[in-house]
Amino acid sequence: MDKIDKRVWYLGFTRLIRASGRVSTFIFLPLIFVFIYRISFLVTGLVLGIAILIMSVVQYYSGILTDRIGRRIFLILIPVPAGLLYIAMYFTVLYRMPALLLILLFYFTIIINALQYPAIQASIADVTSLGQRLSGYTVIRVLANAGAAIGPILGAILSVYGFQYIFLLAGISTFIEIIILYFNVRETYFPSKSQYLTKLDIKLAYKDRFFIIFTVIGIIMAFVLRQSGASLTLYAFDFERLPILYLAYIYSLNGILVVTLQYPVFKIMNKSSNPVLFRSIGMVFYFSGFIVLMFSKDITYFLISMGIMTIGEDFVAPTTQTIITSIAPQNMKGTYIGIYNLFISFGSFSGAVIGLYLLSYYENRTALFWFIIAMGSLMVGMLYFIINGSFLRRMNADAHIKIHERTAAK
């Protein structure tokens, strides 16, 4: 990994700082809604689901814009309001201002974060070769999850003094991130007139058969994996009565294991250019993790489940952007990322709303709820296995075209 452009490391380091400050806001926000503002499970799921839809719509247009005007403006200028919004959320919770205000501020932070995300992902593709791409995304993921390991512990400690301090930490970390990016990450993409994205180019993405199939499977996957977020948090805290500090342990274990295991998993994946197959393997681990939750009685079961699912995450997460940026044309990487995120948001939205509804519906039969989610994970794994051959043929065909173009140029 020492040959990777240093900007990858700066982007990764700022993801560590960001995650250390922001992860707790996503973990503990459902608890704030339910136990401080007395909002029901269903309404909480609806609020979180709408946030996902907003995020993905914004990411869709942000992906197109970053392919038109470059990345740096989204990395440096866009996050500034986010820091101010988190500080506003701090005061909102501190003074118990109306829940509607907190929700609106939350949605604005989602919009700002969504504007930035495609630029970060596309920047990695800009500064890495195809052979380095999985390495680049692995670096980002490991450092981000180092922050994700630190964040829940910091959040749990701060929550002892008041949930509002979680948002103050998020605001401070955002401004630190901006300063580091400003001084260390120059522009990674300069679109020329010949590369300028047109409406016709965007329409071509919707005619990319493999990309559409991959996206449809991603929608189902997003529904299933959404249950490892708010549903797991509320299940552990409300149904199994685990203390908040235990929740921090569970989510910190996720971050610690990613940091520990991601590079060994990367070495396994790097031996074979077969990211779709590895996604299939990852979903089998998710299946096993959800099965463990069927028998959960104390924190031990939750830790085992999270450990197994984290291994699955190590196979699934880095391959998403690797696959998308590998099949996307050079001038449409951000666009493809935006389109993919837009459509999987429907899976995440329904996962947040329907998932929390089903959890409350199966209140006395939670094992059945987790069994349904586990079987959904297994089905997604089978679908990825089925399309693996199509991806390999696509990559081989693209490689032959590039060889032919280089030969013709000589």
Query: Residue 322's pLDDT band (boundaries 50, 70, 90)?
Result: confident
Q: Is the pLDDT of residue 404 over 80?
A: no
Q: Is the pLDDT of residue 2 over 60?
A: no
Most confident of 173-177, 203-207, 257-261, 399-403: 173-177
Q: How far apart are CA 221 and CA 344, in angstroms?
A: 8
- Find the mean pLDDT for residues 1-28: 88
Q: Is the pLDDT of residue 385 over 90?
A: yes
What is the pLDDT of the chain when averaged over all its residues? 89
Percentage of residues of the chain with pLDDT beyond 70 = 94
For each of the domains in the chain, give its residue range(s) and CATH number, in order of start: 6-189+197-409 (1.20.1250.20)
What is the predicted pLDDT for the residue at 195? 56
Q: Is the pLDDT of residue 64 over 90?
A: no
- Tens-digit pLDDT profile for residues 118-144: 898 889 989 988 778 878 888 898 899
Q: Is the pLDDT of residue 402 over 60?
A: no
The mean-pLDDT minimum among 29-33, 201-205, 307-311 falls in 201-205
What is the predicted pLDDT for the residue at 405? 47
By the 8 A CB rule, do 381 and 280 touch? Answer: yes
Q: Is the dihedral of CA 397, 401, 403, 404 positive or negative?
A: positive
Query: Which residues are CB-neighbours of 143 under 8 A, at least 6 positions away?
Result: 12, 13, 15, 16
Helices (H) and strands (E) in the chain, counts: 15, 0
- Find the mean pLDDT for residues 141-166: 90
Q: Is the pLDDT of residue 27 over 50?
A: yes
Q: How far apart are CA 66 and CA 56, in angstroms?
A: 15
- Tens-digit pLDDT profile for residues 274-298: 899 999 999 999 999 999 999 987 8
The mean-pLDDT minimum among 227-231, 241-245, 266-270, 399-403 falls in 399-403
What is the predicted pLDDT for the residue at 407? 47
Residue 299 exposed, middle or buried by CB count within 10 Å (0-12, 13-18, 19+): middle
Q: How far apart are CA 128 and CA 199, in angstroms?
A: 27
CA angle at residue 373 from 370 to 378, to 5 degrees? 125
Percentage of residues of the chain with pLDDT beyond 90 = 54
Query: Residue 251's pLDDT band (boundaries 50, 70, 90)?
Result: confident
